[in-house]
Amino acid sequence: MKFLKKLMAKENILPYSHARELASSFSILNCKADQWPFRWIGHTAMIYRDEETGSVWVYESTQSDHCNGVRLQLFSEWLRDYPGKVWLRRCTIDNKEAARIAGRQLQRHIRFFRGMPYPNLKKAKGILFLIRAAWDSVLFKKASTNTATQQPGVFFCSQLVAHAYSWAKLVTPGYVPAEFEPKDMESAPHGFEFWLRTGIKLEAGIRIK
């Protein structure tokens, strides 16, 4: 029975070759690590597809033994090395001109912010920055809310994705990227999708690992 369950689970995972074909720029990767506490927290990354070379990359901010901040890594290598489950939410842009401009802005975003550090979790300021992203309190609204000017020059995972979308003009104005957490990037009526401009769509997540 355990073998059958494992086999069925594998059949529900989209092969890498198909995932690569679907992986357009701005597609979101929702991740769940195998180990705690990262399994509970979750992780968000996004796709950058270089149209000139055809190469597919993962753009993310992460904290690990090998990286502490914003990086770009080949999709195949990233997917192979990620220690957990991954779902791909394909992004589609109806307007070709909007897609061209967004792609150019994403390239600029990568050039400008690549190498920026992850919040310092050894200091109270860095920990509070992450807590505020997840904590939404009616009674303590100011204390539980990040502002656009707090923690300049650092990015956590979902903040980077939301910030890149904003740079690319794919969302309506008014949100603070640092207020999003990984679960907001999953399919939810009041999550990140609420801010998408007309003609921008995030498809339902498909498991790819």
> How far apart are alpha carbons 136 and 139 in whole angstroms?
9
Cβ contact 60:45 at 8 Å: yes
pLDDT band at residue 143 under the 50/70/90 scheme = very low
Percent of the chain with pLDDT over 70: 75
**Between 143 and 47, whose confidence is greater?**
47
Give just the sign of the alpha carbon dihedral 71, 190, 188, 99.
negative
Residue 39 pLDDT greater than 90, yes or no: no
**Between 43 and 130, whose confidence is greater?**
43
pLDDT band at residue 5 under the 50/70/90 scheme = low
Fold of 2-207: endopeptidase fold (from Nostoc punctiforme) (3.90.1720)
Residue 136 pLDDT greater than 70, yes or no: no
Residue 80 pLDDT greater than 70, yes or no: yes
Residue 142 pLDDT greater than 60, yes or no: no
Q: Which DSSP category does 209 fall into?
A: -
What are the domain boundaries of the chain? 2-207
